[in-house]
Amino acid sequence: MIRRTFILAVCLATAPLWIVGFSTRLAFSEWFIDFEYSRKDFPKDRWGLPDDVRKDLAKLGLQAVLSDEGLEKFKKARLPNGNRAFRDKEIRHMEDVKNFLKYFFPATYLSFIVWFGCFILLKEERWKAVLHSGLFTIGLIITVGLISYINYDFAFTVFHDYVFGEYTWRFRLKDTLLRIYPMKFWFDGTFFVIALSFFISVSLTISGVLLKKVYQ
């Protein structure tokens, strides 16, 4: 009994990480950048930088946080007027993001392996792993979603201060990172991850209910 309770607890602990992690990884893709820049309400650059240039730089930023080669290209990026696209502080922040993702995404995959292993070990009580993982993650997602919706600036600031440090990610309005990734980009990205994570969690919950009928 104690052993099964522990295994179920591990399922609950690992489920939110892999569910949110998989959703986040899907958002870290060029298709999401294309989607955001194709929206009519996506904010224009107040200093007139063309959207096609901004989009190319945004994709370069994506490559920078996913690979060493992409980061080197990011460092060398230039604006149409020939000036450096990114200041040293912006480059350091992207290095910080890259280092964070270097651990976050592998932790996502590992947490799924652990969760699935626990699912297998529970045998006739596997439905509990699926059902409770879904319900637990739904609760967390709703909580985070409400906080983000009520005061997104607060949620954004707390996350960045905690993960990257208070003074490493704050930039000037004219810095290129803020111009290619306006706040709306992050707002939409956050709620894409929340929505997809919620869908996965609901699917797990429904699957758990169906499995319960099979085992009982």
Q: What is the pLDDT of residue 160?
A: 92
What percent of the chain clears pLDDT 90, i.e. is strictly above it? 87
Q: Shortest CA distance to 79 belongs to which of 39, 42, 52?
A: 52
- 165 contact partners, CB below 8 Å, separation of at least 6: 96
The model's pLDDT over 20-40, given as tens digits with 9 standing for 90+, comes to 999 999 999 999 999 999 999
pLDDT (0 to 100) of residue 216 = 66
- Mean per-residue pLDDT for 187-209? 96
Task: Kindly indicate the confidence band of residue 4, based on its pLDDT and cuts at 50, 70 and 90.
Answer: confident
Q: Are 105 and 21 a contacting pair, CB within 8 Å? A: yes
Please state, in angstroms and rounded to a whole number, the distance separating the CA atoms of residues 181 and 110. 30
Query: Any idea where the domains of the chain sit in the sequence?
Result: 2-215
Per-residue pLDDT reduced to its tens digit, 53-98: 999 999 999 999 999 999 999 999 999 999 999 999 999 999 999 9
Grade residue 213 by pLDDT with cuts at 50, 70 and 90: confident
pLDDT of the residue at 2: 63
Strand ranges (DSSP E) for 118-161? none
How far are the Cα atoms of 3, 47, 198 from residue 9, in angstroms, in the given order?
10, 52, 20
Close Cβ partners of 10 (under 8 Å, ≥ 6 residues apart):
114, 115, 118
Buried b (16+ CB within 10 A) or exposed e, 90-105: bbebbbbbbeebeebb
Check if the beta carbon of residue 208 is closer than 8 Å to that of residue 130: yes
Burial class (CB in 10 A: 0-12, 13-18, 19+), 12: middle
Confidence of residue 184 (pLDDT cuts 50, 70, 90): very high
Per-residue pLDDT at 183: 94
- Check pLDDT > 70 for residue 172: yes
pLDDT confidence of residue 1: 63
pLDDT reported for residue 3? 82
